[in-house]
Structure 1
Amino acid sequence: MSPSLYTLIEASLPQDRTRTAIEAPDRSRGPRIWSFNDLLATAARYAALFARLGLARGDRVALQVEKSPEALAVYLACLRGGFVFLPMNMAYRADEVDYLVGNAEPSLVICDPSVETSLKEICTRRGTPHLLTLDWEAGGSFVDAAAGVAEYDEPAACSADDLAAILYTSGTTGKPKGAMLTHGNLAANGVALRDAWRFTEADVLLHALPIFHAHGLFVACHCALLSGAKMIWLRKFDREDVIRELPRATTFMGVPTFYTRLLSGDDFCREPVAHMRLFTSGSAPLLAETFEEFRARTGHAILERYGMTETGMNASNPYDGERRPGTVGFPLPGVELRVMSDEGAPLAAGEVGGLQVRGANVFRGYWRMPEKSAEEFTEDGWFRTGDVAMIDADGYVHLVGRAKDLIISGGFNVYPKEIEELIDDMPEVLESAVVGVPHADFGEAGAAVVVLRHGFLLDEATLIARLKDKVANYKVPKRAFFVESLPRNTMGKVQKNLLRETWRGACEGG
């Protein structure tokens, strides 16, 4: 395997590079078509622009833009030139972006024109040398700057240990952690998934995921790029668009929310999926009811898999063989999984404990957090996922819970501590707890349970509105409840299990 992910991608593309790599439908203007040649040439030109701006190997390039083929080309340019890609969710508010820019210290930030004003202030204060803009229609100062730049002659000679990307994942302390992913991490995982899921250049992937997230960027794009498959590139998930494009596709990747929305109307049946060979689901648990209804309606068994930002994909239900609802299948080739007791002893099949992973897919550590990185690895080199799991007698992995109270809402990670700190900072609030409860559309949603200071008043709508000004909407609890006190055990720890049970039905209606 090539140590550079970029050269591995180049070597994996079809011999005929005039074939379509990306088709981006546009109902108003007609589709935008990118060949593999177009994609590689654009990436080369962008990499040359980065060098012209003075960026050196290892410098970070941060991106906060809408999904577009150009945004994917920025990622490939980073891989080609040896720069480090740092994607940021468009939903992030100024405070969240400020922390990421301050922590990662990118040499270049590329943003959507709609957030340029706030990014300019952040970049000036943080000492970021360059800020350029890029919109989803290929407009902006970044595209203008790259227009006349000559391509690099050769890609950078990156090693497997060279950093390729930093993806931030929120932590229980409330401060996001930058997971450092190398060329070797991403290449090993991409090849394992391509082979496990039988991707070839004959495939057409209907891509409706965001690309600031590991699922849409690494899992989906790497499967296509490492096999030479075409992608139909939707800006976002839109039920009507997906159903219209499915007859032209062979594969589709989604979060459980995508599947519940597809099943929400009678027009979704066997006819639009007759040409499909594979549906996969991840980023959040897929309910067994959704799995069974999808199979009954379409004849397809959704393939559920399991991964995390720090490791890429760890396990997958089989392509051939039984795809068991409620499980995430078996460890992928090259990945080892084990379940351990709290005391650090390996557990037998059927026993529940902490899930640990080891393999070439596992990240290098957290950016500028050596102590935190060391804490998360065992003495014999296994990464503690923080998930609670059981491996059954047949080898299928069952995720039982999450040790860190993580909420996964619509496929996005929400860490309660971050939200609790914002609520606790409100002058009316004495303390709070945020828990995940079932939600008909998002799978899980946050519910805030709040204790007010004596004599102070605060209502649900005001609390939620304040949070919407501070954090991305997916992090904001869907409901807020006010109580006299929070339930605690004898050690003084809030009993979140009781809160989850009490308000279990609060969001079931969606």
Structure 2
Amino acid sequence: MIENFWKDKYPAGVPSEIDPDLYPNLLAVLKTACQRFADKPAFSNLGETLSYGELYRRSGSFAAYLQGLDDLRPGDRIAIQLPNVLQFPVAVFGALRAGLVVVNTNPLYTEREMLQQFNDAGAKALICLANKADLVEAVLPRTGIRHVIVSEIGDLLSPIRRLMVNAVVRYVKHLVPEYHLPQAVKFTDALAHGKHLPLREVDPPSSEVAVLQYTGGTTGIAKGAMLTHRNLVANMLQCQVMIAAGLGEGCETVITPLPLYHIYAFTFHCLAMLVTGNHNVLITNPRDLPEMIEELKRWRFTCFVGLNTLFAALCNNEEFRRLDFSALKLTLSGGMALQLATAERWRDITGCSVCEGYGLTEASPVVSVNPFRHYRTGTIGMPMPSTLCKVLDEQGNEPPFGSPGELCVKGPQVMKGYWQNPEATAAVLDADGWLKTGDIAVIQEDGYIRLVDRKKDMILVSGFNVFPNELEEVLSTLPGVAQCAAIGVPDRLSGEAIKLLVVAEPGANLTKEDVRRHMRANLVGYKRPKYVEFRDSLPTSNVGKILRRELREEELKKIGGQRTA
């Protein structure tokens, strides 16, 4: 039944299927796009723009340099640890053109995290930012990395601007600690050298792994999701057809604040916007809101991609509210639950509704999205074309439509498995290709899916299931609340009790009783908090997602300390 359920649910113009074999690999996508849109802008950053033609030439030079290294072979892994700068797409596509497997790496990683990922992936080469080269120096002797390429923020800017930007970063802002890596090669030198070397074009099969994307998955330590060329091409095409009615080809300006090393931004900006020849404006540090807003003033942007915490922060900024949004026609949200209050405020300020979607690393990542102009607020839309979804109850059975259960996904974008981890793969991916997401969802009879919460974040209060998303959604409507998180803490009587952690807006005079009164007015008794705590900030991931797990761990440590005191 589920196989045919969505066939007639998609709006007119949205196909129910895509051809995941339209391109044999990502390199064919790159070549086609860069030839077709050679003179169009591809990426802009810090006042410089890289055209599609320049992207192809520079990535070719970098690929030739990598192929010239004697001990690098096709299939070897190369870690790319860069923020949103022009070097990122050049490095990624250069590595792929050299036949290497890209390991996207967070530039904010600690020594421990870097060491774990580099060694698990078996990385032989690394491209890093000079700002973090001191950490590379510390971990390098304990890895199998043989080649290190160091880049500075302004490396692909015009000569004078490059000198100025790199000097400010190093000598004014003091963001480049001392390091000693005598074997390292400068990124600019690698490009210059590769420009004079022959390039042997590779043609990997679609089943070959293109990217190792690390994720915590549904459980445990970070694991490398093996995303093949076919996985990524399929998800690129799925994204393309779902937004085709909203975005044209070669004419859009897309604001890119989410990090390209994150799979959400990687697939959308480096692939879906690539195949459509559109222009990505890279925001290097979205946490610096004043600088980001200054950049926004320079563009008549037509698309903005973000997530709930970023939307909320921008809407609270007076300078942002004064921007010209007359060209904005598509706002995309993913990465975390979009709160209704945030969506409504964004629409009121910008005049553009937020299109919410859902995905996970193991699905390259997009699983579902609201079709353009057919938004159902509070839902994550419909499955991508050629994608099946179902929910399973605790007994592994499919409940009736409208009943919650663990969301399971099947489609050409679902990963090959976890890198060198068959046990973890078997735990989430069955023999028929169904991926267990670890998320609780409801499939509605109209075909739209409503996400309830993470399975592991669910709070069990006296036998009742309580989902933090619902509590946070309610609390976010209380004036004066900037951020909030709901977690379960151990309780002797009810098993678990609800604790709310709240960050108030500057100048707000919120009290715990204000919070309790608001929750009493909007929620049944067992969903009301037992504890309320105000904080100056909440821990967030690299894309701004609030980390409930860290908050729970903090609470458990407190309890453990109290018990041993």
Quote the Cα distance in structure 2 between the aligned partners of 1:437 and 1:88. 30
Deviation at 1:202, TM superposition (A): 1.1
Matched, 1:239 2:284: no
CA deviation string 1:56-95 (max 9, x = no partner): 1111110223321112211111222221111111211001
Matched residue, 2:12:
none
Q: Give the match's secondary structure for 2:193.
A: coil
Question: Contact 2:218–2:437 (CA<8 Å) still a contact in 1?
Answer: no
The superposition leaves residues 96-131 of structure 1 with CA deviations (integer Å, 9 ceiling, x where unpaired) of: 111111111111012222332332342222232112
Which residue identity is paired with 2:313?
A: R
Match of 1:144, as an amino acid?
Answer: D
Q: 2:234 is matched with which residue? A: 188
Q: In the alignment, what sits opposite 2:490?
A: none
Instruction: Could you tell me which runs of 5 or more consecutive residues in structure 1 were left unpaired when the two chains were aligned.
Output: 26-30, 417-432, 442-459, 487-510
Deviations 1:454-477 (A, max 9, x none): xxxxxx9xxx9xx99xxx998695
Q: Supply the AA of the counterpart residue of 2:61.
A: R
What is the identity, as a one-letter code, of the residue corresponding to 2:228? Answer: T
For 1:351 and 1:93, locate their aligned partners in 2 and report how far apart those are by CA, in whole Å: 42
1:9-88 equivalence runs, <5 A: 9-13=30-34, 15-25=36-46, 31-53=47-69, 54-88=71-105
| 1:95 and 2:148 are equivalent in the alignment | no
Moved more, 140-149 or 285-294: 140-149
Instruction: Please state whether the residue corresponding to 1:280 is helix, strand or coil.
Output: strand
Residue 220 of structure 1 aligns with an amino acid whose one-letter code is: H
* Equivalent residues in 2 for 1:442-461, closer than 5 Å: none
Shift of 1:49: 1.3
Is 1:335 aligned to residue 351 of structure 2? no
Change (3 A) 1:128 1:342: same
CA shift, 1:9, in A, is: 2.6
CA distance in 2, matches of 1:357, 1:24: 36
Q: Deviations over 1:297-330 (max 9, x none)?
A: 2221100000011101000011032x12221010
Size of the alignment, in residue pairs? 434
Structure 1 residues 265 and 131, CA, compared in 2 at 3 Å: closer, same or farther?
Answer: closer
Distance apart, 1:260 and its partner CA: 0.4
Deviation track 1:206-227 (CA, whole Å, cap 9, x = no partner) reads: 1111112112222222221110
Matched to 1:369, the amino acid is N
Q: Indicate conservation of the 8 Å contact 1:47/1:152, yes or no.
A: no
* 1-structure distance, mates of 2:419, 2:231: 15
Find 1:315's aligned residue among 348, 361, 368: 368
**Structure 1 residue 351 and structure 2 residue 403: aligned?**
yes
After superposition, the C-alpha distances for 1:421-443 in whole angstroms (9 at most, x for unaligned) are xxxxxxxxxxxx999956679xx
Give deviations 1:25-74, integer Å, cap 9, x for gaps.
3xxxxx11211111111111111111111311111110223321112211
- Distance in 2 (CA, whole Å) between partners of 1:173 and 1:381 is 19
Distance 1:217 1:296 in 2: 29
Change (3 A) 1:33 1:178: same
Deviation at 1:23, TM superposition (A): 1.9
> Take 2:399 and 2:113, find their aligned partners in 1: how far apart are those partners?
39
Structure 2 partner of 1:112: 129
Which residue of 2 is the match for residue 144 of structure 1? Answer: 189
Q: Does 1:201 align with 2:250?
A: yes
| Equivalent residues of 2:224, 2:418 under 8 A apart | yes
SS at match of 1:158: coil
Shift of 1:17: 1.0
1:392 matched to which residue of 2? 444
The TM-score normalised by the length of structure 1 is: 0.78
Q: Residue 317 of structure 2: SS of its match in structure 1?
A: coil
TM-score (normalizing by structure 2): 0.71
CA offset at residue 10 of structure 1? 2.1
2:257 touches 2:285 (CA, 8 Å); kept in 1? Answer: yes
CA contact (8 A) 1:405 1:435 kept: no
Distance 2:137 2:558 in 1: 42
Q: What is the aligned partner in structure 2 of residue 456 from structure 1? A: none
On the 8 A contact 2:37/2:277 being kept in 1, the answer is no
Counterpart in 2 of 1:428?
A: none
Q: Take 2:410 and 2:216, find their aligned partners in 1: how far apart are those partners?
A: 22
Q: CA deviation at 1:143?
A: 2.3
Greater shift after overlay, 16-25 or 155-164? 16-25
**In structure 2, how many angstroms separate the alpha carbons of the residues matched to 1:439 and 1:304?**
24
1:217 counterpart = 2:250: no
Match of residue 301 from structure 1: 353
